[in-house]
Amino acid sequence: MNRFFHRLFPLFITTVLCGAGWLSLYSQAGYIWREQPSLPLTAAQKNSLRHIQYPLEIEAFVSGNLRLRREIRQLITRLQKNMPTLSLHFVDPNMAPHKVNQYNITRSGQLLLHTKNHIRRIEYPSEALIVEAILEEENSNERVIVHIVGHNERDFLADTGGSWQSLYRALQSPSLSLASVNLEKHGIPHNADLVVLADPDPEKLEQDWDKIAQHLERGGNLLFTTDTHRLHLPPSLARWTGLQLDSGVIIDLTNKTAGFSDPRLLQPHITKTPLSHDLKTAPILLGTAAFRADKTPQNWKREPVLQTSPQSWVERGAISGTISADADETRGVLTPAWLLSRPFHNRQQWILVIGDSDFLSGNALGLGGNRDFARNVFSLLSGATGQNALSIATRRDQWLSISESSLLNLGLLLLFVFPSLAFAAAYWQRRTFQRHYQPEIQK
């Protein structure tokens, strides 16, 4: 029996190794065991991809690299679940030199995407790059966003901490045009879909408000943000929206349970509005002001976008040490963001007012749901931006939210309780050994 086993064992090992090698090269079966999808698509993006009726073709330029071919084939197989008309065709660069020269193919692994009207080169075999390219072909309507400057607003594309450079870079796409306009020198272009006023100087802005009013009368959309460092709501905008600004910064005691040491950090509740679509995590605001409804705006529908808990208030004094609400400070459910809409020529016109400008800066764009909320804001207000860009999936186990008392208990457990149990177990084992075995050793 042993001799028979020793003779068959090398044959068995050889068969297993050859079979494993063949499977690794040619098998297309695969399983993905993960709770979150590798490609974060919104419901609108999935719907847009599934309704593509014309054929989509991917040409992959790969010579003899079987492993790269297998990886690309598996990638396309995953994409075909949302795009049934997508097909894959491999091209050997050595056998098609005319295509290599025509489309400037420089390395193995580059792709050509054939859509209904265009042929686009994709540099790397990536799910995100392929999907974004297809979505840009589907949603190719050009949109224009104008960022107002000249009133000490947030920097448009400056490389500084408080600028929105990272945000606008994330929004860039072939169907989007970004521009800055100084109202002291120029008017707002008639093709502007969205005008952004980011923390402007109150005195300078009021002088040029007529140009912004003309933009609103033409049906243009407006995003206005202020900040606790320079709180201001232009009187003209207050008349349009019927809002009043509460002077101070919002403090919400319930945010201590989220582990925020700075009381000015706020993660408000998301109300059900067009901006909450596919938004799973609320944005984190870095010191925000509150707006209260004063008058009913004429011909506009007004609804809160973000709201705090009943344990919040507007702090008007210095924030240091132990703070609490004073008798003259506004308490209760506060609203740091309002959305106004009205029908205009068979479409919706929007005005969004937010009491914080820092949460869209580069340092804060990756916190909480800030990036996804910004995508929804510009997607709704501009009409196109954010429909094509894929958001980065935030891992649910990336952050640990724990209160200070729970953190203290955990520290005591790890530093004192567990080591004490180890010493106690060692002492108990030693005493047991001495009690049972020491007398026998002495005999």
Q: What is the pLDDT of residue 87?
A: 92
Structural domain includes residue 395: no
**Does the pLDDT of residue 95 top 80, yes or no?**
yes
Q: Which of 113, 138, 163 corresponds to the end of one domain?
A: 138
Q: Which of 2-6, 249-253, 382-386 has the lowest mean pLDDT?
A: 382-386
Say if residue 295 is in the same domain as residue 414.
no
**Does the pLDDT of residue 3 top 80, yes or no?**
no
Q: What residues contact 98, with CB distance under 8 A and at least 6 apart?
A: none
The residue among 172, 207, 177, 173 whose CA lies nearest residue 189 is 177
Averaged pLDDT, 150-178: 76
Say if residue 155 is in the same domain as residue 87.
no
* pLDDT band, residue 342 (cuts 50/70/90): very high
* 183: CATH: 3.40.50
* pLDDT band, residue 88 (cuts 50/70/90): very high
Q: Which of 46-50, 206-210, 293-297 has the lowest mean pLDDT?
A: 46-50
Say if residue 174 is in the same domain as residue 306.
yes
Highest mean pLDDT among 3-7, 307-311, 329-333: 307-311
Structural domain includes residue 28: no
Structure tokens at 203: 């005195």
**Does the pLDDT of residue 117 top 80, yes or no?**
no
Structural domain includes residue 239: yes
Q: What is the pLDDT of residue 2?
A: 67
Q: What is the pLDDT of residue 251?
A: 87
Say if residue 130 is in the same domain as residue 241.
no
Work out whether the CA dihedral 324, 327, 332, 336 comes out positive or negative.
Answer: negative
- C-beta separation of 217 from 314 below 8 A: no
Averaged pLDDT, 91-118: 88
Distance, in Å, from the CA atom of 78 to the CA atom of 127, rounded to the nearest integer, reads 9
**Does the pLDDT of residue 442 top 80, yes or no?**
no
Q: What is the pLDDT of residue 31?
A: 63
Q: What's the total number of domains in the chain?
A: 3
Select the more confidently predicted residue: 436 or 214: 214
What percentage of residues in the chain have a pLDDT greater than 70? Answer: 85
**Does the pLDDT of residue 428 top 50, yes or no?**
yes
What percentage of residues in the chain have a pLDDT greater than 90? Answer: 21
Say if residue 163 is in the same domain as residue 288.
yes
Q: What is the pLDDT of residue 438?
A: 64
Q: Which of 96, 122, 138 corresponds to the end of one domain?
A: 138
**Does the pLDDT of residue 385 top 50, yes or no?**
no
Say if residue 165 is in the same domain as residue 211.
yes
Say if residue 239 is in the same domain as residue 335.
yes
Q: Which domain holds residue 409?
A: 400-431
pLDDT digit string (tens) for 277-325? Answer: 778 888 999 889 999 998 888 889 999 999 998 888 888 877 766 677 7
Q: What is the pLDDT of residue 118?
A: 81
Structural domain includes residue 34: no
- C-beta separation of 290 from 335 below 8 A: yes
How many CB atoms sit inside 10 A of residue 167's CB?
Answer: 20
Q: Which of 122-136, 139-153, 389-403 has the lowest mean pLDDT?
A: 389-403
Say if residue 313 is in the same domain as residue 413.
no
Q: Which of 112, 138, 164 corresponds to the end of one domain?
A: 138
Say if residue 54 is in the same domain as residue 67.
yes
Collapsing DSSP to helix, strand or coil, 70 comes out as helix
Q: What is the pLDDT of residue 386?
A: 47
Say if residue 414 is in the same domain as residue 335.
no
Average pLDDT, the chain: 82
Structural domain includes residue 376: yes
Q: What is the pLDDT of residue 258?
A: 65
Q: What is the pLDDT of residue 141?
A: 66
Q: What is the pLDDT of residue 387?
A: 53
